[in-house]
Structure 1
């Protein structure tokens, strides 16, 4: 028998190895028949009963013949797997479609199909396929679900072939497997306007006027649809082709999402832990900002930035938002605690300035790290911090909610440094905190005599 996935997986062909494989595939029934046949043959010799010898030979030969025929029967079976979808949020279900094609000229016997699935995705699926005619196909499907984000391999697919008497069972495995990516939960956020967001046309976009005047204008080549009134005749005569004035340059507003992954900053584990909330919150903000037209990047306490293309590490205007979101979601799907003790590496990345809006999801902070965050604020026109007190996440919730223990002083330090800082209680909604951050920013602007955007 030969099995195939996207490629072809050949069965073992060595005679000695093949015989051992066939004998190893004897089922409990086959081994029982073989043992009974040997016992009958021994009894016939001891008792001198020739009829009992014939019965013993029949019992012993039947499983051997079944194993030989099953091993020598050459089926060519192709298998494929399709995930729908291949990337899904935690807590959602995906359907896995399996397809088996009999590409040989012989019909198959009874086939038992089994796919290898990690334990967190559910039980291992098994299917029984009846006789598949020559050139025929069978399609089956099953569902997988995980509350834990990550990348999970599916496969390889295993096909078990058995004889009609159930004496022997051989297993063949496909060589290919697929990967299911479980990304963090993404919560829709309200379209509020936080400081650092640009004014101008469109959502989250800026207009920077180029240089005015005929002498200082920066021309570019004519494109179909350009207004002919913008043609710059002096440059046209100079370059020998139609040139137009570049009167304005659209510039996308920027947003940096800082995710604190320090292992010492969080306690607890599991889908309801503080760290998982921070990862989900970062994913929600990233998707929200991309949808609003921002150039975004994901930054961790280790100093690593995603997507990281280009000199500034942002997802630029030449990169599709869907591709940027997919890359950052894939990163968040497998992100784990770091061994770092501080946020200095992230601060080094932000020292260049012009980083746009800074949104941080932070764990437990000490005075030193709060001071580092205060210096980060000086590099961004607007900054919002969601601080998780991990102690409150591992304790049992009380009947009367109170202030977060141990985080009040750090929140005060961040607010004095200019952050819009919020404590995150256990089980809080990302959208509600997002709205609250906007209300607090407007209150700070009103108290300071400023005017919110």
Structure 2
């Protein structure tokens, strides 16, 4: 993007006026001054239009952190040109702030490295980049800005508080404990291709003969408890905002992340749902069931924690579509509803789901007054923040 400075505009006007007056009234001095002004503008345009060959690479260390944890970005800029050294004014975009990057006398084939901290005080996806390089002429007449390098996201997760207790669910293992191994029971789930090490007694011979390759029965343990986490992301449920941040919503996100990590640690199936529809953007992922790889947050994965990092408050204020889906699909046996002070009026609608979910736990954050004990037959946890929720969660004696 190019920009003509006020000095350049004034010089162009002066050049036109001087050239016109010089030719009109036959004053060679005025013509000479006008031509000099025009030449200066042309030189400025040619100088600023020179495009340096820069190669930009960046890496985040780490690229996924919890809120408040340190994260750093390493930016490397290399002059890929062969003839000219680059002396440029550059700045890197890091969220909503600009980080100056010195590029003085960067010789051909050389590179420079800049390392700076990424702000992680707020949950979200911090977009870092692209590098913005501004090229100016020596006279300060023209400024031309170009972007280099693709932006890199840094995912700032909610804080995770350790939960020692997990719901046991409506169904239990025959030996009196929750089976941590989800596969290998007598309940048929699906068919998959044979891999070395599978027991031959699990081969489904009829299907194998039909498809031409060995197919193995995949069985699951139906006694495992299934957790459903319903995060209330409606703006009406979290009315108090400071600088655009609702602390009650941030606490609810911390509680949701804590439950997800605890379920993954115990090897339990878990589903993360939002009350309001998600806006289009980077957090989208097909499906809502958290698998082990997703919860591990490996490179390139967009699991529930990535989703929690990117979720924002929405204006949709109706809880009925979410409760209707929960009642219709029966996604689990333990429902965890996390809301703010504005969601206390909806506890009755959530309590009506007890026919489909034997255990319903409600977390209310930032409310001035505690919810009535045992309201609508629910286990209600009133908490000021995520840490208080974790302490109250471990103290629950019934699910």
TM above 0.5: yes
**Residue in 1 that maps onto 2:371:** 408
1:94 to 68, 71, 74: 71
**Residue in 1 that maps onto 2:274:** 300
Post-superposition offset of 1:173 = 0.9
- The superposition leaves residues 246-282 of structure 1 with CA deviations (integer Å, 9 ceiling, x where unpaired) of 6964455421101122332222114562122112211
Whole-angstrom CA distance in 2 between matches of 1:337 and 1:233: 49
Whole-angstrom CA distance in 2 between matches of 1:118 and 1:288: 31
Verify the 8 A CA contact 1:364 1:389 in the aligned structure 2: yes
1:433 to 372, 389, 395: 389
Q: The residue matched to 2:357 in structure 1 has which SS?
A: coil
Q: 1:369-384, aligned counterparts within 5 Å?
A: 369-384=346-361
**Residue in 2 that maps onto 1:130:** 104
**Residue in 2 that maps onto 1:46:** none
In structure 2, the CA distance between the partners of 1:94 and 1:439, relative to structure 1 (3 Å rule), is closer
Number of equivalences = 374
**Residue in 2 that maps onto 1:256:** 228
- The superposition leaves residues 3-34 of structure 1 with CA deviations (integer Å, 9 ceiling, x where unpaired) of xxxxxxxx9xxxxxxxxx6xx66797x99999
- The superposition leaves residues 84-116 of structure 1 with CA deviations (integer Å, 9 ceiling, x where unpaired) of 333433333432332222222212242221123
Whole-angstrom CA distance in 1 between matches of 2:204 and 2:302: 45
**Residue in 1 that maps onto 2:158:** 185
Q: Which one has a bigger Cα radius of gyration? A: 1
Post-superposition offset of 1:174 = 1.6
Q: The residue matched to 1:127 in structure 2 has which SS?
A: strand
Which stretches in structure 2 are left out of the alignment for 5+ residues? 14-28
Does the alignment pair 1:265 with 2:237? yes
Which stretches in structure 1 are left out of the alignment for 5+ residues? 1-10, 12-20, 36-51, 393-403, 446-453
- The superposition leaves residues 182-228 of structure 1 with CA deviations (integer Å, 9 ceiling, x where unpaired) of 434222313323231854787645578428xxxx9x9998653345x
**Residue in 1 that maps onto 2:23:** none
Does the alignment pair 1:386 with 2:358? no
Verify the 8 A CA contact 2:334 2:359 in the aligned structure 1: yes
In structure 2, the CA distance between the partners of 1:207 and 1:143, relative to structure 1 (3 Å rule), is closer
Post-superposition offset of 1:79 = 2.8
**Residue in 2 that maps onto 1:160:** 134
**Residue in 1 that maps onto 2:197:** 225
Post-superposition offset of 1:386 = 1.0
* 80-89 vs 66-75, greater mean Cα deviation: 66-75
Q: 1:164-175, aligned counterparts within 5 Å?
A: 170-174=143-147
Q: The residue matched to 2:290 in structure 1 has which SS?
A: coil
**Residue in 2 that maps onto 1:43:** none
* 97-106 vs 170-179, greater mean Cα deviation: 170-179
In structure 2, the CA distance between the partners of 1:188 and 1:194, relative to structure 1 (3 Å rule), is same
Verify the 8 A CA contact 2:163 2:390 in the aligned structure 1: yes
Q: The residue matched to 1:186 in structure 2 has which SS?
A: coil
Does the alignment pair 1:339 with 2:295? no
Post-superposition offset of 1:359 = 1.5
In structure 2, the CA distance between the partners of 1:239 and 1:352, relative to structure 1 (3 Å rule), is same
**Residue in 2 that maps onto 1:422:** 381
Whole-angstrom CA distance in 2 between matches of 1:389 and 1:288: 23
1:330 to 306, 322, 328: 306
2:81 to 89, 100, 104: 104
**Residue in 2 that maps onto 1:149:** 123
Where is the strand percentage greater, Structure 1 or Structure 2? 2
- The superposition leaves residues 337-361 of structure 1 with CA deviations (integer Å, 9 ceiling, x where unpaired) of 3422434532432333361322221
1:315 to 287, 290, 297: 290
Whole-angstrom CA distance in 2 between matches of 1:62 and 1:294: 74
**Residue in 1 that maps onto 2:25:** none
Post-superposition offset of 1:320 = 4.6
Q: The residue matched to 1:282 in structure 2 has which SS?
A: helix
